[in-house]
Chains A and B, each alone.
Chain A
Amino acid sequence: MHVRRTIIVCYSLIIVAPLYFVFVTVFKSSQAFYASPLGWPAAPTLDNLGKLFAGQPIWRYFWNSIQVTAGTVLLVLLLGSLISFAIIRFGGAAGTVLFAIFTAGLIVPSQVNMLTIFALARKLYLSDHLGGLILVSTALLLPLTVFMLTGFMKLLSRELIEAGSLDGCGEWSLYWRITIPLTAPSLAATATFLLVMVWNDLLIPMLLLNGKSKLTLPLAMLQFRGEYVTDYPMLLTGVVVTSLPLVLLFLFLQRYFIAGLTEGALKG
């Protein structure tokens, strides 16, 4: 019993300590921080926050990230669920081949084709354009999405769809009025998983975006680092502020986050 408690307490400290010190640093002036980097803020101040928002177009970065994340997640769920539905409905050879075509992409991570995506995006005018980033991210996430959603839709009783079909539903109603509502919990878990991936993605935005006004949050943070080099209070304030939306979502939708990230782990 003692051993169990000791391990749990130690691991909790390992997880919490860095987060705690990052959090208190937000409320320290630079001098207070360098005088006592780990101490409690003696005279808590909101200067770092003020300076960060005054010096950087943070709201714009947020808005960019929100647009890219919402756009990509919605588009990839729509395209992916349509494809998965068709794979299930086709069945047989056509279904198998389609499934194989899409899931083959699971082997190829974006680190492998980052070079050609970079080159191609410039040619197709998808560079430096949030819409272009949404299209590229969607294409890259389709294999995983199709893989996960086909798995979930397979679990859905075939008979339900067949019954709907006999009642005279067309493919569109079978998809929209039967399959989507019945797989809603799995769709929600998949959505949170994709949300975390897109919101946090560094590589693809880095390859496609250059203009300062187009940056997403992870890129913006790398830029703060360049600007504030070792001004930790400013740097860590940036970390806290830009992580906040997902942290808040996590507090409310924990269950979906854990299910989603785990499903993703199992399937990806």
Chain B
Amino acid sequence: MRNRKLLWIFVLPGLLLYGVVFVYPTVLGLVYSFTDWDGFSASFKLTGWKNYHSILESIVFRKAFWNNVKFMAAVVAAQSVISLVLALLLVKNRKTYVFLRALFFFPAILSSVSVGLIWSFVYDPAIGLLSTLFQTLGRPELALNWIGDKKIAIYSIAAVQVWAHAGQMMIVFIAGLQSIPSELHEAAVIDGGSRWRVFRKITWPLLAPSATIVLAYTTIQSFKAFDLIFTMTDGGPNFSTEIMTTYIYHLAFSSYAFGEASAGSSLFLVLLSVLTFLQFKALRAGRISY
């Protein structure tokens, strides 16, 4: 006999907390986006779609949107290729490989603040690891100002994101590879398939579910980026690394344009929902069996 009353008591505390601290603020954010609230005053008035108009016309917001796209494209391309190659190389359960997997995974447990500070040092144009390396190699022209140059800063940070998370995605690919029955490979090799053909015809199609997961996860993670950019450049130089999340933060807490920032949050949520919906569809489509 199920005791429904008792089960509701199990649910209640969590539901209450979730309602008050998560659902209510989310709805409230939508309300604020239609007001001129500054975040502190006791009163505010409704302004209709004004905040949406002004943020959509803002040059910095548009720039932030495109920076989001650049950052996402760079991270997704680099991270999926690197993690797949690493997984293919380290898929066998040998002792050294298991050790290397843990090593490559390791940066994922560091905080973005730590990773950001470590890489600020690596990228330091005067005494950093990269500059010193290029100077020692006799190529001082390659010792760039990695996060101080507005043309490359966003890609430099994208590289850090990949450094931190490619190993984690490698594990997802390895799990996918190891779930492919080995008889399939053996049969193909006995049938005289070349390595590349075996990969293309057997491994790759069967890897589709893991690939979808990696792509979807990487896309959404890079879209939501905040900590790393906040720590390393805080949107600078000259807004070249400003993305939507940091822009919303600056609008609310530096410019006190709470209403406009809320409109930005709502737009961000809409974009993110579209991405999540696509992720969901892709995951469904990617589910194949053998």
Contact = CB atoms under 8 A, between A and B. Distances in A.
Contacts of A203: 226-227
Interface in B83-106: 85-86, 89-90, 100-106
Contacts of A80: 14
Contact of A258 (B25, B105, B262, B273): B105
Among B4, B22, B227, B249: residue with most chain A CB under 10 A? B22
Given A135-B21, A265-B217, A113 B3 contact: no
B17 A142 contact: yes
A83 B15 contact: yes
Contacts of A15: 103-104, 106-107, 163, 167
A225 B117 contact: yes
Given A116-B28, A116-B32, A236-B117, A202 B129 contact: no
B248 interface: yes
B168 A235 contact: no
Given A139-B20, A202-B111, A115 B272 contact: no
Given A79-B14, A111-B224, A140 B22 contact: yes
A115 B248 contact: yes
Contact of B110 (A105, A222, A246, A266): A246
B21 A86 contact: no
Given A38-B132, A89-B2, A243-B110, A265 B172 contact: yes
Given A139-B22, A140-B21, A107 B272 contact: yes
Contacts of A85: 10
B61 to A, nearest CB: 15
B290 interface: no
Contact of B262 (A21, A116, A199): A116
A49 interface: no
Q: Number of contact residues on A: which range applies?
A: 35 or more
A90 B168 contact: no
A205 B39 CA distance: 18
Interface residues of B, number: 82
Contacts of B265: 111-115
A142 B22 contact: yes
B7 A89 contact: yes
B245 interface: yes
Interface string A204-218: 000000000000011
A257 B167 CA distance: 13
B259 to A, nearest CB: 10
A170 interface: yes
Given A86-B10, A115-B261, A135-B21, 15 more contacts: A4-B89, A82-B11, A85-B10, A115-B262, A120-B21, A120-B28, A165-B1, A175-B10, A202-B112, A203-B226, A218-B113, A222-B113, A258-B101, A258-B105, A262-B175
Interface of A: 4, 7-8, 11-12, 14-19, 21-22, 25, 33-34, 37-38, 79-80, 82-83, 85-86, 89-90, 98, 101-102, 105-109, 111-120, 124, 135-136, 138-140, 142-143, 146, 165, 170-172, 175, 196, 199-200, 202-203, 217-218, 221-222, 225, 230, 232, 235-236, 238-239, 242-243, 246-247, 250, 254, 257-258, 261-262, 265-266, 268
10 pairs of A and B residues whose beta carbons are closest in the complex: A200-B111, A139-B21, A79-B14, A116-B25, A37-B127, A82-B10, A218-B113, A116-B29, A86-B7, A111-B245
6 contacts: A98-B11, A114-B265, A116-B32, A170-B3, A199-B111, A257-B105
